[in-house]
């Protein structure tokens, strides 16, 4: 009963802080003004993702105090997530040069990997692979790519929060099936922090997440996937399967744009989800479709991994139709 009350309190705090941040953004004119990358037509307050950062961080401190979150994992999440959120918050108010943002992202990734003890052992086609020193740069690249792709994918109402709620809820379910209930609390906390924000961000959005929130979610989801792999190497692939919609759309879009000679930092609206939202004339159908794909396609496959399926092979299976869908909706092609 006490745990359920605490989780509901996280949701309420996130909801309340999002309301406060919306009033602050309106008063200080912190608005997301439409540009060539935008999928909205009118200025909307931004920076609401800080509600996720604050409510989740406070909840993590409580979990650590109660002994339900290892101190090293607390420092990994707080330090890495906090630095990324801080840089994103500054960027939401006054643009930070891309090179300084990227430097901060790699520092945050290195910090998180240090406290987690490096990249854990992975399972590939049934064989356990220990990458040793090579795991450090690969782990940093993985985390930095995940936090940046999350920023890229936060372009229509509700999509980033819905993705985080789906992935974290699935992650908590993995732990529940494995009997590791105490580990399920952290993804549940992050999911409920996102639900509190999503109440204000659901289409039509009354506030946007901003770089602070999207970057924070990206790096925390990456760290949570590595934490899961420490319990069972196959779980890394289960988390990666659940992240499939974002990973495929962002990766294919970036690859196609680079091959076309475009700068990765150039603003654009060529993600598959952006083409889809313009085709359907609204954000809601696309956001709900992402949720349905996560629940009806990716969740069953990720549970197959949890119950003993080959993680690497199932990830390839899960991504195949997502690639086809992204190609159908012209991911990375010129408008």
**Residue 200 maps to a domain:** yes
Average pLDDT, rounded, for the chain: 93
Contact between residue 131 and residue 167 where contact means Cβ atoms under 8 Å apart: no
**Residue 269 maps to a domain:** yes
Q: Dihedral, CA atoms, 185, 190, 193, 195, nearest 10 degrees?
A: -100
**Residue 335 maps to a domain:** no
| HSE-CB for 33 with a 13 A CA cutoff | 3
CB-CB neighbours of 57 under 10 Å: 18
pLDDT score of 18 more than 90: yes
**Residue 297 maps to a domain:** yes
**Residue 333 maps to a domain:** no
Alpha-carbon distance of 137 to 113, in angstroms, equals 10
Closest by CA to 173, choosing from 298, 76, 70, is 298
Closest by CA to 228, choosing from 302, 294, 140, 161, is 302
Q: Mark residue 41 as left, alpha or beta (left: phi above 0; alpha: psi -120 to 50; beta: remaining).
A: alpha
Q: What is the pLDDT of residues 94-148, one digit of tens each?
A: 888 889 999 999 999 999 999 999 888 887 877 777 777 778 899 999 999 999 9
Domain count, the chain: 1
Instruction: Report angle CA 166, 169, 172 to the nearest 5 degrees.
Output: 150
Residue 314 structural domain: 2-328
What is the value of pTM for the model shown?
0.95
**Residue 202 maps to a domain:** yes
pLDDT at 1: 57
pLDDT at 51: 97
Alpha-carbon distance of 335 to 326, in angstroms, equals 14
State mean pLDDT over 149-175: 97
- Which of 4-13, 261-270, 319-328 shows the lowest mean pLDDT across its residues? 261-270
pLDDT at 95: 84
pLDDT at 49: 96
Question: In the chain, where does DSSP find H-type helix?
Answer: 2-28, 50-65, 71-93, 98-116, 135-153, 159-177, 181-201, 210-231, 235-242, 244-259, 272-280, 284-293, 299-306, 311-328
Alpha-carbon distance of 145 to 271, in angstroms, equals 16
Cβ within 8 Å of residue 104, ≥6 positions away: 83, 84, 87
pLDDT at 215: 96
**Residue 98 maps to a domain:** yes
**Residue 16 maps to a domain:** yes
pLDDT band at 25 (very low <50, low <70, confident <90, very high): very high
Closest by CA to 183, choosing from 79, 109, 78, 73, is 73
Backbone angles phi, psi at 122, to 5 degrees: -115, 160
């Amino acid at each position: 009963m006490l745990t359920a009350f605490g989780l509901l309190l996280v949701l309420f705090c996130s909801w309340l802080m999002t309301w406060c941040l919306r009033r602050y953004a309106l008063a200080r004119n912190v608005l997301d003004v439409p540009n060539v990358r935008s999928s909205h037509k009118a200025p909307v307050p931004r920076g609401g993702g800080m509600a996720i950062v604050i409510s989740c961080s406070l909840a993590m401190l409580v979990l650590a105090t109660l002994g339900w979150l290892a101190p090293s994992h607390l420092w990994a999440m707080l330090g890495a997530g906090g630095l990324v959120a801080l840089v994103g918050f500054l960027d939401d108010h006054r643009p930070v040069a891309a090179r300084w943002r990227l430097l901060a992202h790699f520092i945050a990734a290195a910090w998180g990997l240090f406290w987690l003890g490096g990249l854990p052992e992975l399972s590939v086609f049934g064989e356990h692979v220990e990458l040793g020193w090579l795991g450090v740069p690969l782990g940093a690249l993985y985390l930095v790519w995940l936090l940046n792709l999350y920023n890229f994918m936060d372009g229509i109402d509700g999509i980033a929060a819905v993705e985080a709620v789906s992935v974290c809820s699935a992650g908590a379910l993995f732990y529940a099936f494995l009997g590791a209930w105490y580990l399920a609390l952290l993804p549940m906390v992050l999911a409920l922090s996102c639900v509190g924000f999503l109440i204000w961000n659901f289409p039509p959005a009354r506030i946007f997440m901003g770089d602070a929130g999207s970057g924070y979610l990206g790096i925390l989801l990456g760290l949570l996937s590595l934490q899961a792999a420490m319990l069972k190497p196959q779980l890394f692939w289960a988390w990666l399967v659940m992240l499939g919609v974002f990973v495929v759309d962002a990766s294919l879009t970036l690859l196609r744009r680079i091959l076309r000679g475009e700068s990765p930092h150039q603003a654009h609206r060529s993600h598959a989800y952006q083409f889809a939202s313009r085709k359907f004339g609204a954000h809601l159908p696309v956001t709900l479709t992402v949720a349905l794909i996560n629940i009806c396609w990716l969740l069953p496959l990720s549970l197959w991994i949890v119950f003993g399926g080959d993680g690497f092979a199932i990830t390839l299976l899960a991504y195949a139709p997502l690639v086809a869908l992204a190609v159908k909706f012209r991911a990375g092609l010129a408008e």
